[in-house]
Amino acid sequence: MSGLLERITNNMKKLSLISFFFLTFLGCEAKKIEVPDATKSASKENRMNSSEIAIIGGGCFWCTEAVFESVPGVEEVLSGYAGGKNKNPTYEEICTGLTGHAEVIKITFNPKEISFAKILDLFGESHDPTTLNRQGADVGTQYRSTIMFLNNTQQELANEWKKKLGTKLIDPVVTEIVPAPTFYLAEEYHQDYYKRNPNKGYCNFVIRPKLKKLNLE
């Protein structure tokens, strides 16, 4: 009888040790699970729901992207192609000037912080709207000055902007104002180009001086 009790006691000790090591192992391996902040998620969703879109082109999209990424009230800027005949064009195809696409940017902005009219004003200041299919050394229809409106209000504001700007400039404003066609997102290496490559030649000699001129850097 005493032998049986001794075996039971020993087995209970073994079980206790196993339980101890098992729980300790779980405690060491346990990872903290972060629960998303529902308030922050809802806030971001509300901002996006109240946002508006603008699609414009004024030369190389590396420049226009860098300009508008520096503007308060602008939530997102994407570089892409629009206005041509080919679906899903590539940068190599665009560079031939034969597809009809323009290098454009798609701007998501908060209209409570910056209006579409203000975006057009900055657009006019950030490029030369009087040169046809050219901005500086960038030549071709892909570099044309364009406003691609998404609704009647944008169309009216764009027409007013062009008319008003025309009274201030000697040369005629050649910016086209057209309904927004399909926007095709450019390749990943074009996105945030200035932020990723601040010391490259084009950024140093073209983009940075433009940002400084506009007091955006």
Backbone angles phi, psi at 129, to 5 degrees: -80, 5
Of residues 55, 53, 56, the one with CA closest to residue 175: 56
| CA atoms 128, 130, 136, 137: torsion sign | positive
Residue 188: what residue type? E
Q: Interior CA angle at 135 toward 130 and 136, to 5°?
A: 115
Q: Taking Cα atoms as reference points, which of 68, 31, 74, 69 lies closest to residue 51? A: 74
Pick the catalytic residue: 60, 63, 95, 203?
Answer: 60
- In the chain the first and final C-alpha atoms are separated, in Å, by 89
Give the dihedral of Cα atoms 129, 135, 136, 139; nearest 10 deg: -140
Radius of gyration of the chain (CA): 29
Residue 16 burial (CB < 10 Å; 0-12/13-18/19+)? exposed
Q: Is 95 a catalytic residue?
A: no
Residues with catalytic roles: 60
